[in-house]
Amino acid sequence: MNEDLLKVLSDQLDCKSSNSKIINLEPLTGGASKEIWKFEIQSELERGKYILRRGSGIEGPLAIKTSEEAAIQKNVKKMGALVPEIISVSTKDKPLGDGYVMKYVEGESIARKILRDEKYKNALKSLAFECGESIAKIHKANINEFSFLPRKSVFEQLEDLYQTYLSFNQPSPVFEYTFLWLKNQNFGELKDSLVHGDFRLGNIIVSEKGLASIIDWELAHIGNPLQDLGWMCGNSWRFGNTEKVVGGFGDLEDLLRGYNSVSDFQVSHEIVKTWQVFGTFRWGVICLIQAAAHLNGSVNSVEKAAIGRRVSETELDIVDLLFLGGK
């Protein structure tokens, strides 16, 4: 398989005419639905590190095309957002399939390493503020440039999530309660923005100096920008450090200070909590979607099977937020 990939990747990057070659091609641990490969391009003059990200053909219903992720990153890079430099984009009809090649960014994306390793201790102190700034920059992008992205209000998204949950025929009293609760909340009347959709540890690269890059744009869409803030604060993305609301490393005050320093509007603590409940419900439904791909036989994956038993984490987090004073 690696030999085949090596060939189509070399063709995609036109290695023959530039007299260069691909070396050290190796798979990295990616998300549940994407392939990630690390490799180097060796030419007479230089040697550089790159990442290939491509769709596995089993993306969930919420995911955009991998090549569209590349288009977004190219656009927001122009505005100074921290994203990797894209060097080549492939589409579904090409031998490489739906994917793109980007320059490798030095740093770490694995959440537990970022939270645990001594060398990131200093970077973590200002990371919540930097994340806030970066999210606000993304939200300032001109949405007219992203006509290919789905555009949905929070209540349309909520209805979609609920219908998706219903389609799996696994009734959850907690999700039923949550759906009714969310339908009656105020999510803030804000201008539609580019929403990353999955901004959290695991999808950002952190170096010893701080936030280095924002990756994994597969859940990007146009909608209420506050979704990204609530998502980032969900307990699912604190990796056990439950007392640190922002990603298991930072405080909400710092995230909002960073956000409000760039944004045209000011965000309060209270509204983030409502979005946190929404985000937790959304993650629960995404877990159901992932597990269903295994259960309906479209893919045999122990990883996807296991994620079905993480739905209960979101139910527990929601009852904690709604009834037990959870933060």
Beta carbon of residue 235, minimum distance to another protein (angstroms, whole number) = 6
- Among left, alpha and beta (phi > 0; psi -120 to 50; other), residue 205 is beta
In whole angstroms, what is the distance from residue 109 CA to residue 92 CA? 27
From the list 14, 106, 176, 264, which residue makes contact with another protein (rule: CB under 8 A)?
A: 176
Q: Which is nearer to another protein, 110 or 143 (CB)?
A: 110
Long-range residue pairs from 140-144, CB within 8 A, at least 24 positions apart, any chain? 140/79, 140/193, 140/262, 140/263, 140/264, 141/75, 141/76, 141/79, 141/81, 141/193, 141/194, 143/192, 143/193, 143/194, 143/222
Point out which span in 96-104, 225-233, 258-266, 311-319 binds another protein (CB under 8 A).
311-319
Q: Which is nearer to another protein, 199 or 239 (CB)?
A: 239
Amino acid, single-letter form, for residue 51: I
Beta carbon of residue 106, minimum distance to another protein (angstroms, whole number) = 18
From the list 2, 16, 27, 261, which residue makes contact with another protein (rule: CB under 8 A)?
A: 27
Residues 118, 84, 252, 133: what is their CA dihedral angle, to the nearest 10 degrees?
Answer: 120
Q: Does 241 bind another protein (CB under 8 A)?
A: yes
**Residue 215 · residue 84 · CB < 8 Å:** yes
At 261, give phi and psi (nearest 5°): -75, -20
Q: Does 168 bind another protein (CB under 8 A)?
A: no
From the list 80, 167, 240, 269, which residue makes contact with another protein (rule: CB under 8 A)?
A: 240
**Residue 74 · residue 125 · CB < 8 Å:** no
Q: Which of 259, 266, 260, 276 minimizes the C-alpha distance to 134?
A: 259
Tokens standing for residue 190? 């804000």
**Residue 35 · residue 7 · CB < 8 Å:** no
Residues 6+ apart with CB under 8 A from 167: none
Beta carbon of residue 129, minimum distance to another protein (angstroms, whole number) = 24
Q: Does 310 bind another protein (CB under 8 A)?
A: yes
Handedness of CA 142, 143, 147, 148 (dihedral sign): positive
Q: Does 2 bind another protein (CB under 8 A)?
A: no
Beta carbon of residue 127, minimum distance to another protein (angstroms, whole number) = 19
Beta carbon of residue 165, minimum distance to another protein (angstroms, whole number) = 10
Place of tokens 């036109």: 14
Q: Which is nearer to another protein, 11 or 313 (CB)?
A: 313
From the list 64, 131, 138, 174, which residue makes contact with another protein (rule: CB under 8 A)?
A: 174
From the list 153, 242, 261, 298, which residue makes contact with another protein (rule: CB under 8 A)?
A: 242
**Residue 88 · residue 22 · CB < 8 Å:** no
In whole angstroms, what is the distance from residue 34 CA to residue 63 CA? 11
Q: Does 167 bind another protein (CB under 8 A)?
A: no
Q: Which is nearer to another protein, 45 or 302 (CB)?
A: 302
Q: Does 189 bind another protein (CB under 8 A)?
A: no
Point out which span in 49-57, 178-186, 220-228, 261-269 binds another protein (CB under 8 A).
178-186
Q: Which is nearer to another protein, 23 or 28 (CB)?
A: 28
Q: Does 306 bind another protein (CB under 8 A)?
A: yes
Q: Which is nearer to another protein, 59 or 317 (CB)?
A: 317
At 299, give phi and psi (nearest 5°): -155, 145
Point out which span in 69-77, 94-102, 175-183, 206-214 binds another protein (CB under 8 A).
175-183
Site residues (CB under 8 A) for another protein?
27-29, 171-177, 179-181, 235, 238, 240-242, 302-303, 305-306, 309-310, 312-313, 315-320, 322-324, 326
